Structures are given as structure tokens and as C-alpha cells.
Amino acid sequence: MSAAKSVLVIGAGMAGLTAARALAEAGCAVTVLEAADVVGGRVRTHRTDDGYAVEVGAEFVHGRPPELIAMVEELGLELVERDGAMLLFHKDGQLQDAYASEDDDSDASNAPDAFDVMEQARAWSEAHPDRDESFVDWLAELDLPEQSRVTATAYAEGFNAADAHELSVKSMAVQQAAEDEVGGDVGLHVRGGYAQVAERLAAKVREAGGTIRLRAHVSALQWKPGEVTAELVDEECVRADAAVVTLPLGILQSGTVPIVPEPDMVLPHARRMRMGHVCRISLVFKRRWWAELEHERAEELKKLSFLISADRDKGSALHPMFPVFWTTEPEEGAVLTAWTGGPHAEAFAALDEHAIAHLACSQLAKIFGLEREAVLSELRSHHLHDWTRDPLFCGAYSWVPVGSVDASAKMCEPVEGTLYFAGEHTDVTGHWGTVHGAMRSGLRAAQQVLEG
């Protein structure tokens, strides 16, 4: 390969930046074209006037994936573990420890939890390598208490932003094995904001000689073997020998950035996957009022990390609800984030950010037995980014429907030594929807370019 080989990288998310750095350091002439005015893609931190770094995109480092951990360390950033108390909240206002006592012999405490069910999915998949079913259909075959079935479904939909009636149980098994490899039960956070990783990685790309162009919105890609032309919305054309395409799955599926001629061996497989939807809002308060309550769980509330619905009641279109809240513990911050994913996120679609913030505060008031106005009076600001309605993304992150576990691998195949595809939806290690999955795909695509 000539050291002067030119490469376009379409998108400055974590996949694109990772690929761009590897290629630039290998001697390629790299130009990154990013439609937004910031790098990072779905890694985005909003810095408030009062000094908080509030995540509106990716927030957690799931486990200790070596590529991401090494990158964070190289960039001089610090990880903190979100290891505080986890409480379940009930409709009747009761709060309880999420971890049942070993001395509790009740049916509820002995029922398999969501993680037990995921391990069963893994075992089933290993025993039936040629079969796949929807998560709901697979659950129906198991002898499980109804509460376990409800909890597992809620976890599958919420974590994967997926519809359990379509979600591949085989993909859940692959994902569970992948999480076990990196210790995915540990939740870490980049102190000071996740966007720092993208910002400092972009600096590394520039140091290696790469160019990053923001507000460079690609309207179409024209290609033939050995040549790619990116047409920008301002009618400028940028050419190179090859391109790494990291457009989000939602954009590939929408066709809003046509690739001409269409790579027959890639886009049909992209259409086999699904883009997930979430509703999350971060509420910045004047103080950590939940840590100051006179409550029977007062000591745990002082170190609260997660509040999770014990009933898994996600409400309805008329009464949308959040099943999960989390804090910034152990970091000092008066911030509570509310989350729901999958079909239930659609219940919030008709609401604006202000209404969603008020609903979240109303729910918190009910959980803690407070007046709604008491919680609202503590609210300083709220922060939400609707990734589904954002025309540059068209969704939060990808998930795998029945029969499509091989789709990501199919999308990884180079096209005529000219087009290479990356992004979390192309990860082949089971880490769909994660930052480290995106990084792995970028490294893989860069290596394919260098070997092409």
C-alpha cells in the first residue's frame, strides 16, 4: 500500500475517530467529514452554567473493555465506578434493597432475576446453535414465575432499547457472553464528561496529520473501485481513494445519504437490523435533596446510585413512566437521570422536554412520598437530546432482531477495496450499542483499509 493513500472517514463519532487515528498514524492522508458542529457522535456532554458535565448521550463504560480503558488512560482521563446503593421502588411507595437477603425465603427473592434469565438464554443458545427465536417466544417456553418473566422482558427492552417481540434471543446470548468477558456488571463513568474522550481523540487524529472538518454534511457518496467522492450539502465535492463509512444505522436505513451505486453486499444487511429508541432526561437540582430526606432508607439514599421499578410498570401512552433513575454517585452532583428504552419510550414521543421533566419530577415525588411542587422547586435545569428525531442519527443505538445475528459480520465485508463500514452496529464481538463496540469496529475497518 502506498503511504500516500487517501481515505475519507464519514462521521466523527467514536468509530470514525478511532479509524481516522489508526489510518493517519499509518501514513494515510485522512479527512474526516462530520455533519455536526462537534465530534463524538452519540457521545455528547452538556456543560451547564453551574459547572455540571451532564451526559445526553452515552454515559457508562460497561465493564473494562481493554481498548476503551487503554484509551482513557492514554488520554489522561479518570474513571469512577458507579457503585452506590441500588433501591427498588414499588407502586405503594415502598423502597427496598435491590439485593434480596440470603435469609429471605419468599417466593419473590427465590425467583430468577433478569441476569439469571440471560444466563439461561446463553445456555439455550449454546445448546441450539442453529435456532433463534424472539425473546418473548423463548420466555414463553420456560417454566418461570410471572414476575421473572416481566422483569427479564423489561431488562431486555430497556437495556437494548428493543422490542422483545422481535429481539433475537441468540443475540442476547452473544451479548451476555461478551459482557462476561469484559466484566460488564461494572458501571464506570469518565469523570468530567464522556465527551472528553472524543475531544482528546480528535486531537490525536490532528497530531497524526489527519484533517477533521465539522459542519461538513455529506449528502451523497459516489464511488467506483479505487475512488470515492463525497458530495456535501453546499455542493462541494471531496475525493479520496477509499472511505470508511461510519454513518449510524438509522441513516443507512433511511437512505438520506445515498451511496451510489448501492453496495449490494452491505446495505441489505443493514436493513435487517433495528435502531433502538430511548427517552432519557437529566434533572439538575439545587442540592442532593434525596440524600437529606428523613426516611427509613436514609443511609442508602445518601449513597444512592440507582432507583429501579420493582413492578416494572412503564406506564402507557396516557401515563408515561420511567422505570429507572440514576445519580452521579460517587461523584458530587445534584443530578438525577430518568431513563426508558424500547417501545415504552414512544409514550414520550408527543411530549416536549419541559413536560418530560415535569413528569419525571412527579414520579420522583411519588416515589419519595413528597409533594410534586417540593421536587419541582428544587429543579435548576433539565437536559434531553432526542436522538430519534435528530436527522443525523434517527435513533439511539442498534439491536438485533430474530435471524439477524450475522448481519453485522456481513456489513464488515470490504466493498471492492474501496468502501469500508464501521460503527457500533457493525461490531462482531457482541457489544452492539456501546462505545467500545464502535471503537472495535473502527480499528477493524482501519486494518482492512491498510491491508486492502
Boundaries of every domain in the chain: 6-41+194-272+404-451, 46-83+187-191+275-383, 108-182
pLDDT of 186 = 93
pLDDT of 248: 98
Would you state the pLDDT for residue 151? 86
Task: Please state whether the peptide bond connecting residue 261 to the residue before it is cis, i.e. omega within 30 degrees of 0.
Answer: yes
CA distance 92 to 68: 42
Residue 433: CB partners within 8 Å, gap ≥ 6? 160, 161, 276, 396, 397, 398, 399, 424
Do 404 and 168 form a contact (C-beta atoms < 8 A)? yes
Q: In what order do the strands lie in the sheet with 259-260?
A: 237-240, 227-232, 218-224, 259-260
pLDDT at 106: 46
Q: CA 140: distance to chain centroid? A: 28
Residue identified by cell 432526542 is: 386
pLDDT at position 93 is 81
Q: Which of 209, 150, 181 minimizes the C-alpha distance to 3?
A: 209
pLDDT at 111: 60
Are 6-41+194-272+404-451 and 46-83+187-191+275-383 in the same CATH fold?
no
Cell of 433: 450499542
Say yes or no: domain 46-83+187-191+275-383 is CATH 1.10.10.10: no
For residue 298, give the amino acid letter.
Answer: A
Predicted pLDDT of residue 312 = 61
69's enclosing H/E stretch is: helix 66-74
Looking at the whole model, is its pTM more than 0.85?
yes
DSSP 276: E
φ/ψ of residue 451, rounded to 5: -90, -10
Are residues 403 and 395 in contact, defined by beta-carbon separation less than 8 angstroms? no
Pick the CATH number of 6-41+194-272+404-451 from 3.90.226.10, 3.50.50.60, 3.40.190.10, 3.90.1300.10: 3.50.50.60
- Give me the pLDDT at residue 139, please: 95
Encode the chain (452 residues) as per-residue pLDDT tens digits.
Answer: 445 699 999 999 999 999 999 999 999 999 999 999 999 999 999 999 888 899 999 999 999 999 999 999 999 999 999 989 999 998 878 899 887 544 444 444 556 788 899 999 999 999 999 999 999 999 999 999 988 888 899 899 999 999 999 999 999 999 999 999 999 989 999 999 999 999 999 999 999 999 999 999 999 999 999 999 999 999 999 999 999 999 999 999 999 999 999 998 899 999 999 999 999 999 999 999 999 999 999 999 999 999 999 876 656 666 799 999 999 999 988 999 999 999 999 999 999 999 999 999 999 999 999 999 999 999 999 999 999 999 999 999 999 999 999 999 999 999 999 999 999 999 999 999 999 999 999 999 999 999 98
Q: Which three cell numbers stand for residue 439?
A: 471503537
Asked whether the CA dihedral 37, 39, 40, 46 is positive or negative, the reply is: negative
The residue written with cell numbers 446495505 in the block is 267
- The pLDDT assigned to 2 comes to 47
